[in-house]
Amino acid sequence: MGLLWVSALSLADTRVEEPQCDLHFEQSLTVDKSVLEVADLRFSTDGSVTRAGKPVKLNRDQQALSAEYVGEVQALVPELLALVRDAMKLVARALGETFSELFGHDSDVAVKTEYALNVASQKLDERIQQKDGRYHLSHGEEDLFSEAFGEEFDQAVEEAASESVGTGMSLVWRALFEPGFADRMEKFGERMEVEMKEAAENVEARGDIMCERARRTAALETRMRETIPELAHYRLVRYQEEKAEKVSARISAN
């Protein structure tokens, strides 16, 4: 039974291997299908740029570069938001189903874990606002993953799990005297392991795609700084590849 108990709690500690890149947005931004707005700069999909409402003079090549850059940012921001939200859903499902299976849907540990996940989701909503295809990513001190799954979230889940240990004897009792309980938990663990692995691999693959888009976006931005004098000091995207095999992406508006 000890092995069953440890395995069940370990299953709840689901980890998603996050994208192997370090991506930061260094300013607040607003983007939709027509424009990208950063501070007093406004980039349009046709490649035109204005600063404080005044047109920035661009030649044909510079305008084409600007248009390509805007297109990448327009795709990157929704991909980022969807990736973070799906990672949250994956963690929520793993924690919710595991604790509910062990202690019941209305148990203290299940309720507290659900509350922690709701708080994490609300924090994300405060950083990224979305309405009618328009996204606003506000500047923040922490990256988006840390904002959602930071120390406060970890502490809340750890406290809930620690409190649940006090009910461990009830699980021992159920394993000993409730017909089929141990077998049911073992099958549950096996099923969750398969399902979570498949879901996590999907999220990780999408993260790799997002990192590649971020790399292209950062490269275009560098070319803009080098070839458009008025944008020599413009910086929005900071991208760096991570060399470690397993890393956590720090995706932020910092």
CA distance linking residue 138 with residue 140, whole number of Å: 6
Express each pLDDT in 42-84 by its tens digit.
999 999 999 999 999 999 999 999 999 999 999 999 998 888 8
How many helical (H) and strand (E) elements, i.e. helices and strands, does the chain have?
7, 9
Those residues with Cβ within 8 angstroms of residue 16's Cβ, 6 or more apart along the chain or in another chain: 87, 90, 91, 200, 203, 204
Residue whose pair of structure tokens reads 């995706």 in the numeric block:
251
* Nearest C-alpha neighbor of 214 from the set 239, 179, 236, 235: 239
Q: Specify the higher pLDDT residue, 92 or 152.
A: 92
15-28 residue pLDDT tens: 445 557 778 889 99
Q: Quick: pLDDT tens for 99-139.
A: 777 666 676 777 777 777 787 777 777 777 778 889 998 87
Domain ranges of the chain: 2-241
Please state, for a pLDDT cut of 90, what percent of the chain lies above it.
33
Residues in the chain: 254
Q: Which residues does 204 contact at the CB level (< 8 Å), separation at least 6?
A: 16, 17, 18, 19
Average pLDDT, whole number, for the chain? Answer: 76
Give the residue, 46 or 143, on which the prediction is more confident: 46
Determine the Cα–Cα distance for residues 92 and 126; give it in Å rounded to an integer. Answer: 19
Coil, helix or strand for 55? strand
Q: Which residue has the higher pLDDT, 164 or 79?
A: 79
Q: Is the confidence at residue 165, as pLDDT, over 60? A: no
Can you give the pTM of this predicted structure? 0.74
